[in-house]
Amino acid sequence: MKTLTPRRAPTRHDRPRRAAAVLLCALLWLVAPPCPAAAPPTETAVAGSWQPQARALARVRARTEAALSLPFTARIRALSATPGAQVHAGDVLARFDAPELRRQLAEWQLARQASTLAQKRLAVMQQGRRENTITRSELLATEEAAAQADRSARMAWQGLAALLDLLNQGTDEASLSQRAERQGLGVLAADLSQLKAPFDGIVVALHASVGEQLSAGAAVLELESLTGMYLSVGVSEAAVPAWREGQTFWQHGDHRLDLHPLGGTARLDPASGLWLLDFETRQAESGLQDGAWVEVWHRGTARPVVWVPASAVVARNGKTWVIVPDAKGPRPVAVEVGPAAPDGRIPVLEGLAPGTPVVTEGAYELLYRDLKDLIKFVD
């Protein structure tokens, strides 16, 4: 029969030993190095190219008959087209003499020269201010005068550009300035005093004769389109420059229809708030119907970018970021990106160099890890 030995009850001498053991365990736990956190997975940013794409709605207009007129009073000097003649876009249909066009040219040139002089005067005054030879109020007055001269020059150009667009002579201010300096204002006015064909077509009627003086808005001739359609594409004001370059097209199934810009200035559509850009098709069988609303695509000019996985890009405070590993730990880098590609990658337009590793998992948590400092607990 087994004899049970009674367990000895702890005495007051055992208590210090037990407390020392507990304290020793706690100290060992505090000084032991923590386990290093696993490094987040990364991928290397790869250099490449990206072609921006956009889409917009467009209103289709059939090419039928167009009555071409002059936006001001003018005397017809020559007619280059006869009924039944086939003309091409840009062909000169009529030449005229218009005092209003010469006046607009003169106002634009004077306003442009005044703006140039105002800018030179401003540069001199700014230098004088740096040298403390003029007062601040004098500088402010000069800045206001320069701004007013610039506004007058822009308004004069807009008025002239509108007239040239109505004559189907869309151009830019820099090119016209060079022509004015090279040819002189008189020769330039004579060169611009012509009505051009806006598209390929056939002259179906003449409403003016040589030597006749026409009032503003009176029809000179009627032109009938042979092929294609017009499309007015509505885009935001910020997107207008991008849609002037690259490729624009309409596609339905396997049928693609290239659209060609007509030039001229964009027009504001008050109903939608969008800016309208005019395009044309040149195919006889386009598949488009007059008055229809269609979706068109635009591919911009390709540009160099850096590609990263979509999981590497996160947003905070209205900015876009990637997380880059560093010797001191992961750090956020602000970047500008384009829309994600179908393969799950995102083009980085600015802010990241090729070959840089970026965190691909947990980037959101790393970017927001300092939020704990913003949280205040209340007992």
The answer on pLDDT for 256 being more than 60 is yes
How many C-beta atoms lie closer than 10 Å to residue 143's C-beta?
14
The answer on pLDDT for 289 being more than 90 is no
CB burial class (10 A; 0-12, 13-18, 19+) of residue 8?
exposed
- What is the mean predicted confidence (pLDDT) over 259-267? 86
Q: Whose CA is closest to 168, among 221, 93, 230?
A: 93
Residue 229 three-state SS: strand
CB burial class (10 A; 0-12, 13-18, 19+) of residue 338?
middle
Q: What is the pLDDT of residue 378?
A: 40
Q: What end-to-end distance do the CA atoms of the chain give, in Å?
A: 62
How many C-beta atoms lie closer than 10 Å to residue 23's C-beta?
10
Tell me the backbone φ, ψ of residue 292, rounded to 5 degrees: -75, 150
Q: Decide: pTM greater than 0.85.
A: no
Mean pLDDT lowest among 75-84, 260-269, 286-295: 286-295
Is residue 195 within 8 Å of 219, Cβ to Cβ?
A: no
- What is the mean predicted confidence (pLDDT) over 313-336? 88
Euclidean distance between CA atoms 98 and 79, whole angstroms:
15
Q: What is the pLDDT of residue 353?
A: 93
| Per-residue pLDDT band at 377 (split at 50, 70, 90) | very low
Q: Whose CA is closest to 44, among 325, 363, 355, 334?
A: 355
- What is the mean predicted confidence (pLDDT) over 164-173? 86
Residue 154 three-state SS: helix
User: Per-residue pLDDT tens for 113-145?
Assistant: 999 999 999 999 999 989 888 899 999 999 999
The answer on pLDDT for 251 being more than 70 is yes
